Structures are given as structure tokens and as C-alpha cells.
Structure 1
Amino acid sequence: MAACAPASQQFCVAEERSGHCAVVDGNFLYVWGGYVSIEENEVYLPNDELWVYEIDSGLWTMHLMEGELPTSMSGSCGACINGKLYIFGGFDDKGYSNLLYYVNLRTRNGTYRWKKITDFKGQPPTPRDKLSCWVYKDRLIYFGGYGCRKHNELSDCFDVHDAFWEGQIFWGWHNDVHVFDTNTQTWFQPTIRGGVPPQPRAAHTCAVLGNKGYIFGGRVLQTRMNDLHWLNLDSWIWSGRIHISGEKPKDRSWHTLTPIADDKLFLFGGLSSDNVPLSDGWIHSVTTNGWKQLTHLPKSRPRLWHTACLGTEGEVMIFGGSKDDLHFLDTGHCSDLLIFQTQPYSLLRLCLDCIGKNASLLKNQMSWLPSKILPQVLKKITFWAAANHRQEKKAEIERQEQINVT
């Protein structure tokens, strides 16, 4: 089942990719889909592979999937509810999708089986990719995206980018809201009761704090934005553009926004209006209605069209994405996992990390540990062994590249 289950001194890493889906459930990060560039061609990654990262041990495994497999795609929207990964939309060689699939991540027999949702009620959104999703009260709430519509489907929630007149098919950006209730298997479009919605857009990002769904930035017609909006997910009233004084992030698309506290959002990366991949990080406080840039982040690790998930102890895990402008130099896809600590770790976590880093010095004292703690210690030892292995491997690659240059 696991194609690269790690042996004692053998570690694997998930394949590089952009435009993929990633979610956290429990102590595991799950990654599916996306694409890479091979000889200037976009190659979609296998639809039957699920990469799983165990947060405690730092180990990756790859599991082959069964069932009603989604098409290999990029730009799908992934979200997790009650241990199920839902995939909606996306783009492949045949065009845009508006199909919805799910897989139970808490399987008991180790088999991950896709299920295509066909017995739903209501009308799903039109086909699209690069949309975003809020998860609220067991509902998947989708906003925006880029896709196509027929002439009789045009409305105020759609800005036309291009048209194919023979079949009267129009491509463009959306700002409509669609809800899928996972309990009743029902699609519906809520009645927006007030406020000014954001402009139609794609490659934006969404996050939930309380009962408010936040949106930041994205591609709007021929420009990128740095506007912030929220939608009340109970009353369906838009905030309008939130006016913020002081410094704020520059315009961007293909970035991520992650809730890290009851009143804080963490913004990372993206592609700027002048087509520069970004590596900056910002924290927005809804209490003070202000942005604060983080100055300690590395400037040499730009990312766009990556994913960001919140870990078990408040760390933000950035996986994959590209370090290049995908429009002009689509070669720099990434496979590394960037972990940003957004709050102090617990005393237990600090102790476990200390033991894991110094395992060789403390091996004679391991037997003194309580039996309940020992399994966690062993996972941390594995975690730091894997981290050191990857660091050594990276250094060796850099040495070889330097030799080839000289």
C-alpha cells in the first residue's frame, strides 16, 4: 500500500508540485493532485496517489488510492470536514470541472477510496478552478474562481475575460457564493442580504474566523489585488472592502491565508502585480484591524500556488508551490515543507524536541522515561533524523551543482 514507507535510515519526500490540495486532520498532513513542468509541458500528477506527512515523526508515505478517482487536475479546491477530504473543481487537459469527490481519511484498513458525489440535491457551481472555500457548520462554502459559462449563464457575478463565439462559451472570473451541505448532500446558493461583494476574482485566498469568511487579494481582470473582505456566514451580509490604515501587504495572487488564533490571520507568499514571487509573511489582527509584517522570515524561499495548513501546535505548514513566475518560467516547483511557528510551543514539545535533537547523547537515559512519553520521544528522534537526512542531502546536491558550475 505505502509505496515508500520509510525504513530505519531511509526517508522519502512528497513529489514537487503546484496547484495541489492539502489538508490537516489530526496529526497528519494530506496532499493530493497538482502538476509539475517537464520540458515546458504541464504534467498533472497521478490521481491515485495520496501523500501523507506525519507531523510528529516528520515522515512522508505515499498511499495508492482506489474507488471513483477524480481526474488528475490542478487548481482544485480541497477542504476537510469530519475526517473527509473533499475535492471540488479544477482544471485538466479537457477543461474545467464542477464535480465533487470525497475520501475518508480515517480509514481503518489503510485503504483510501474516492467517492464521487452524484446523489446530491440542488445545482452545483459552473465549472472553474483557482477558487477558495470556507468550512463552516459542516458546510463547504465556495467563492469565486476562473472558469467558463454559456451565454445563458452570464450574470453580474461574472466578469468576461475571453469568448468563443461558435458555441457562445465565455471564460472569466466569478464572485458568486455556493454552499454544499455535507449532512444533507445539498447544493444551494444563499441569498446575499446586504453589503458590497468583492469583485469577481481567482487565485485569491479564504479563511474562517468565528462566523466570518475572509477573502484577501487575487487576480481581478488584468490586475492583482490586496483588498480584504469578509462575509457573515450566518446572515450572508458582505462587509464591503475593509479599510485599513498603516502598512499592508502588496497586491498578489496565488498566496495563502491561515487562521492562527481567534482573531489573527497569517498571510504568506504569492505573485505580485509586477510578477515577482513573494516570500513575505504578514499577520492581520481583526481586533485592531491592522497588518503587521514579520521581519524574521527567510527572504530566499518565495512561494506561489502553494498550500498552507495549521498544525497541532499553531505552526503553519507551507507545502509545495513554485518559486518562479508560473506565467513565464514554469520550472521551479518545490517539494519542501516550510514550517512557521506562530506561537510558543508547549513545554512538552520543547522537551521532546530537545531529546530528539540530542538522542545520541541521551540514549542511555531513554529507559528512565515514563512509558506514556516514550512513543512520542521515539517519533521526535525519527523526526530530527529525517530532518538531518534531508539537510545533508540538500547540501550534497548544492555541492554537486557547484562542482558542475566550476
Structure 2
Amino acid sequence: SKMAAPSVKWNRVTNSSGPIPRPRHGHRAVAIKELMVVFGGGNEGIVDELHVYNTVTNQWFIPAVRGDIPPGCAAYGFVCDGTRLFVFGGMVEYGRYSDDLYELQASRWEWKKLSPRPPHNGPPPLPRLGHSFTLVGDQVFLFGGLANESDDPKTNIPRYLNDLYTLDIRNPNSAVWEVPPTYGSPPPPRESHTAVGWKDSNGHQRLIVYGGMNGSRLGDLWMLDIGPMSWSCPVVSGPCPLPRSLHNAAPRARAGHSSVNINSRMYLWSGRDGYRKAWNNQVCCKDLWFLETKKPPAPTRVQLVRASTHTLEVSWGSVAIADAYLLQIQKYEIVNKTPPTPPANKGIGGTVSASDQSQTTLTTPSSTMATAEPATREATKSTEATSDDTLKNEAPTKPDHVWHDVAIVKSTSLIVNQYLEKVDQADPDAVDVNGTLRKVLLEPGTAYKFRVAALNECGRGPFSDVSAFKTCLPGFPGAPSAIKISKTLEGASISWEPPTSTNGTIQEYSVYLAVKSSQVRQ
């Protein structure tokens, strides 16, 4: 059976702020958390600039670097280990290639030139460009590239390489180039190929080399098993991917670009798309794109900010690869079975005068405090709108098992006063063109469940855990908000903000603490 191709989609990044770098090709980029660090490249001259793009804020900036700042270079090796960046080789001017190694400590943007010792069993790496420089564990693997056989930079005699070096970067100041013995036939010489590290499910690490050129384009795949250091050329089966519609724009064909992986997105910047024949120079792309490769994960559960008789203001945690969020609601009708007073063996309750600055301290034995958690998984879902013990002592009478859409929003908070309900027949008051959706307002004194899912170009991710909150009853004060709990030597200190709707003078607050039994497992 054929395996379905994964759904991935391109998105062009627009409206970036800051000093956007000029277009180029032959540059390199690495990722540090949410940052894309771009260095070097060329376009009518070699570029020596360091630019950083923040994928969260959509901003470019130029850090103030210091130390042994390297000259501009193109088609070099660039790897990242935490906040340490390593640059090796590349073209520093036409026909002149480098064999220098630099380290950039990005925590303070300081460059340092390194001088690794030559290997004990051979010469150090030749100056080169178009090589691969791949970090696998604590070692960098240098493979292949293009050297100049001529001593005169103006006379370029290309020599394609397939040599392999390793460099342990745990202590760069005492690093040594190594020429590891390998087994099997190595890949033919090449430059401008790719090499990536890969660890399989059994923990075996491999270096996978693909493509490149040696006078003509190459499309072969090679694998180095790093344990026994053996080369192999695996048989690749299956059809090549066919062109397909991505339902939105895609970057035009190019070469000499850079790309990095941040979260599950692959960011692509600049590169060359051909020659301007009249001027005989490169045409470079000015655009920045990212490739969405997977649906977003579930956000954190919905939290209550504040409640009133007809609204519930809610919020949830952001998801790095989300473009928007779908909030859904479900009405939860309940009736009181017993007064909303927590049982003595389930928790601790009390009242606090409204003049006590909306703060109190609960003191319990240390053994109790160690297990002071919500009594059920649902407990944290309703604490700020109504006590969870209230919901536990109220039985559902007509639960609505259908989830209704509230809205699709780009923010991570929303004041909810209505939702959309599907109707069987066309409704004159419907809000959609088909007449099948109508607005339903939130009702006073009613419990509602919430869940939220993140959306991006690959689709909707899973929904969050369910939360439940209750609107206020008319005449009663609203729910306190901004509840904060902190540990003290005596127990726990709790503070809150008064409700925005008091419906008179607040005389006192009731405070409840639910205690989870040690036998309960969530």
C-alpha cells in the first residue's frame, strides 16, 4: 500500500520590522530556540554581517559583536551547539577559500578564533567551500567540499573532495582534528551537498549525505553508520513526490538559500534564482518563508479571568506554531442536591471579612499541605467562577453533549457572551448564509464547559482539557478574579481582586480548600 504524503504548506512572512538584511546567496543559518541566526553569503561581494531574526516577534536585529570577528565568507560550514556557534571554511574572496575555525558565543555575541591541532594520522583539512559541517552528539563531521588546486586565487583549478574529518567540540580550546578510519565505499567527491545527523529508534546514530554536484548534479543518497563508521548506499524505493497544490503561494525555485528548523517550522530565507544576463550577476530573492509541517499541539486548559451574569472572560496558554485558536463551549445544566458547603473530611472552608484587603492565610498541618490539591481533575476548572464542591454536589440534569463554536481568534483571551448553535431548519435570525447557525446568549447562574484548539495551515490540533465555569446570579456579587496562592511557613497565602460587579457592598468572602486523598490517582 502507498503511504500518503504528509500535508505541508508554505507561508510567506510579511511585515517584518528591524534592519532586514540585503538579499544574498551562499549564506548559512542556524537556530537558537526561537532565533534564526544568519551569517555571511554574497551578492556583488562577500558579506560579513551577522543578522538575527526573532520568529516570535517577527523582528530582525543586528547584535553588537566583539572579539575575533571573522571576515565575510560564503558556502562555509555552520553548526550550533546550545548558544555556541562554529564556522569553518568557506570562500572569503573569489578563488580564495578558508580553513579557519571560529566560535561565536551567542550569549554575549563574542567571536573567538580557534586553532585545533592537526590529526595524528594525516594533514589538517584543506581550505574549501560547499562542504557539509554536521553536529552529531559532541562531534562535528566535516565531509567533502570544493578546494582550489591552484596557489593563485585568480586561477581556479577545482578539486572535489570526499574526505571525512571529525572534531570534538566539548573543549574547543584543546580540539583536535581526527581522520576516523571508515569501512565500505565512501560517497564520490562532491560539494554543495547536504548532510544531516539521524538517530533511529534503537539509538543508532547515522550521517545521511544527499546530492550535491561534482561537475554535474547528483541525486544519490549515502549513509554513514557512526558506530562502526561504515559507509553504505541504501536502495531508495517509492516514487518521487509529484507537484501538488499547496492552496497558497510557495517560494519560487532558488539555490544558495538558508533554512533552519524552529519548533516544527522550517524557515527559508533569500538565495539566488538565476542570472541577470545583461549584467552577468546573480538575482537574489528578498523573501522569508516558513514551511508548516504539522498541526499544533493542544493549548493549556481554559482559565477564568472574571465572570458576570452574562459573560465569562477566559484565557489560555499560547502555542508557538498556532495562527489562531478555536474556542468551543458546552452548556452544563445543574441542580443543587446539597448546599454548597464542603464536607469536613474533604477540605477546609471559612469566611473572610471584605475589609480584610481580600487576602487570607490558611494554616494546615504540613502533611495536609503536601497533598493540598483539587479533589478531582475537574476541580481547577471552576474555582474562580464557582466552587468545585458546588459542582460536585450538583447533579447534571440535561447535559448538552454537543460542543458549540464560540469564535476563531488570534489572541489567547476572549470575553464570551454568546456562542453559535446549529439549527435543523433555516432560521430567519441565523448568522450564516445557509441559515443553520444562530446566536445563543449566555444565561445567568449557568455552568458552561470550555475547550480550545490551536489552528495553523496544516489544520486543527487536538483540543485542550475541559474546564467548567459558572456565570453569576443577578443580585449576587460576581466572582473574584486574579486569584493568587503562595506558600508560607504557616500554610498558604491567598489573595484576589474584588469582582467588577458587586451589586451592593460585599460583606465577606467564603474561602474553600479541596484536599485530594492520597489514594486518588489522576
The interval holding the TM-score normalised by the smaller chain is 0.5 to 0.7
Quote the residue 2:255 is aligned against: 304
- In structure 2, the residue matched to 1:112 is 109
**1:44 pairs with 2:46:** yes
Matches within 5 A, 1:363-374: none
Structure 2 residue matching 1:324: 3-state secondary structure:
strand
Report deviation, 1:124: 3.0
| Higher relative contact order structure (alpha carbons within 8 Å, sequence separation ≥ 6) | 2
**Given the alignment of the two structures, is residue 14 of structure 1 paired with residue 14 of structure 2, yes or no?**
no
Q: 2:290 aligns with which of 339, 346, 351?
A: 339
| Secondary structure in 1 matching 2:38 | strand
Partner of 1:96: 97
- Alignment partners' CA distance in 2, 1:9 and 1:308: 17
Which residue in 1 is equivalent to 2:274? 324
Q: How many residues align?
A: 289
Check whether the contact 2:16–2:59 (CA below 8 A) recurs between aligned residues: no
* Contact in 2 for aligned 1:355/1:362 (Cα 8 Å): no
Residue matched to 1:268: none
SS at match of 1:63: coil
1:194-250 CA deviation, whole Å, 9 max, x = no partner?
222111000111111111111111112x2111111111122210013x3223423xx
Alignment of 1:5-404 (within 5 A): 11-36=18-43, 42-45=44-47, 47=48, 49-93=49-93, 95-105=96-106, 107=107, 111-118=108-115, 120=117, 122=119, 123-149=123-149, 171-184=158-171, 185-192=175-182, 194-210=183-199, 211-220=205-214, 222-240=215-233, 242-248=234-240, 292-293=241-242, 295-297=244-246, 298=249, 301-312=252-263, 314-324=264-274, 330-348=281-299, 349=319, 353-354=323-324
**DSSP 3-state at the match of 1:64:** coil
Distance (Å, rounded) in 1 between the aligned partners of 2:16 and 2:77: 35
Q: Which amino acid counterpart does residue 61 of structure 2 have in structure 1?
A: T
Classify 1:129/1:239 alpha carbon distance in 2 versus 1 (closer, same or farther; 3 Å).
same
Deviation at 1:78, TM superposition (A): 0.5
User: Kindly tell me: are residues 329 and 126 of structure 1, through their superposed partners in 2, closer, same or farther at Cα, counting changes over 3 Å?
Assistant: same
**Unpaired stretches in structure 2, ≥5 consecutive residues:** 1-14, 200-204, 300-318, 327-407, 417-522
* Structure 1 unaligned regions, length at least 5: 1-7, 37-41, 150-162, 249-291, 366-406
CA distance in 2, matches of 1:350, 1:180: 34
> How many Å apart are 1:148 and its aligned residue?
2.6
Distance (whole Å) between structure 2 residues aligned to residue 233 and residue 25 of structure 1: 25
Larger Rg: 2
Partners of 2:26 and 2:130 in 1: how far apart? 8
Q: Alignment RMSD, CA only? A: 3.4
> Structure 2-normalised TM-score?
0.50
Identity of aligned residues (%): 25
Q: Distance in 1 between matches of 2:34 and 2:58?
A: 10
The structure-2 alpha-carbon separation of the partners of 1:232 and 1:16, relative to structure 1 and needing over 3 Å to count, comes to same
